[in-house]
Structure 1
Amino acid sequence: MNIQLIDNPQTLWVFLNTEANTGNIVDDGDHYFIKPDALYLGVYEDKRLVGVHEVRAFWHSVVECHAIYAPGFRGKYALEGHRRFCRWLLANSTFTNSITLVPDTTRYGRTLIRLLGASRVGHLDDAYLSNGKPVGVTLYQLTRTQYEELAHVSAHRAV
């Protein structure tokens, strides 16, 4: 497993617009919105892109982070990918806190963020429309201290 900035926008676009990867995040016939103010870090297995971590400024010293992993690279693999992302973010940002928004329709994201030890900080009803229907999102936070702890946890102890 290797984590690095994605230098090929086409590779990023293809990964984020593959339904098996994004599932409920992208409507049928639509595409994933690649944010111009975000950094995209790829998680690679050999040369194959198997995960993406999106990070951008949210508010003052808070960053917004989202992770998407391909099927077959979730669970323990994604936990290790998050640990590597934690190390990268700690080395490259002075953030104090991170926030992520998990759609109510995304069970995998809700499970993973809880395994990481994130705290639920709220819920937005009708945060966006998906296939014409309103979907809510739950907001979770991780502090910098939690990132430091996650970055140093042994993959064998975590699960």
Structure 2
Amino acid sequence: MHLQQINDINIINSIITNPDVNGDVSDDFSVNTKLTVLPNTFEWLGVYDDGQLHGLYALVPQNGTTAEIHTCLLPHFRGKKAFDAGRLLLDHLFSKYQKAISYVPEYNRKAKLYAQVLGFTVEGINRSSYLKNNRLIDQFLVGLTKEEYLCQSQQQQ
């Protein structure tokens, strides 16, 4: 398994608009929205295993030390392989940044668990900030520092 930079907007759109991904990652205003240009600050990393693309991560720098993660993994790739991919992503992210964050809508319990198993902790709640099925819901801000990640990695060895 490896991560590889993706710059092809059609490949990115095929993942983010996949019906099995889109419902998990889109609020009411962005369902099935395709990118028309690639934001030049995003880093798009495809997750490849056995020569096949199984999803992607988008890294969005917040400043010089922090990057926000957006996760778009296809359903067949969730579970143990997703955790392995997440660790690859964090190895990559922490080679450039000191802090990783993500926002997880309260309805997406699997995404919250995924983040927590990777070592993230809930750092706050962004109240009534996400419209899903015509209802305003909260989002959890989850975060992980490089120091925490390196400590966890050493404990696992």
Q: Aligned Cα RMSD in Å? A: 2.4
- CA-CA distance at 1:131 after TM superposition: 3.4
The CA deviation at 1:45 is 2.1
Shift of 1:150: 5.7
Q: Structure 1, residues 11-66: CA drift from partner, whole Å, max 9, x if none?
A: 11011101212323224983246561211101012332212111111144111112
| C-alpha distance 44-54 of structure 1, shift in aligned 2 (>3 A) | same
Q: 1:71 aligns with which of 33, 52, 75?
A: 75
Q: 1:50 to 1:129 in 2, by over 3 A?
A: same
C-alpha separation between the residues in 1 aligned to 2:22 and 2:145?
26
- Give unpaired runs (5+ residues) of structure 1: none
In 1: Cα distance, 2:76 partner to 2:131 partner: 28
Q: Which residue of 1 aligns with 2:8?
A: 8
Call closer, same or farther: CA 1:86–1:153 in 2, change over 3 Å: farther
Choose the corresponding residue for 1:49, options 20, 41, 53.
53
Residue matched to 1:118: 120
Note if 1:90 corresponds to 2:94: yes
Identity %: 24
Distance change >3 Å, CA 151–CA 23, structure 1 → 2: farther
Unaligned runs of 5+ in 2: none
Any idea what SS the aligned residue of 1:40 has?
strand
| 63-72 or 34-43: bigger deviation | 34-43
Does residue 58 (structure 1) correspond to residue 46 (structure 2)? The answer is no
Which portions of structure 1, spanning 4 or more consecutive aligned residues, are displaced by more than 4 angstroms? 32-35, 149-154
Rounded Cα–Cα distance in structure 2 between residues aligned with 1:51 and 1:104:
22
TM-score, structure 1 as length reference = 0.83
The count of corresponding residues between Structure 1 and Structure 2 is: 153
Tell me, in whole angstroms, the C-alpha distance in 2 between the residues paired with 1:153 and 1:83.
14
- Name the amino acid aligned to 1:42: G
What SS is found at the alignment partner of 1:72?
helix
Task: Describe the superposition over 1:64-111 as per-residue Cα deviations: whole angstroms up to 9, x where unpaired.
Answer: 1122211121111111001111222233x1x22111100112121011
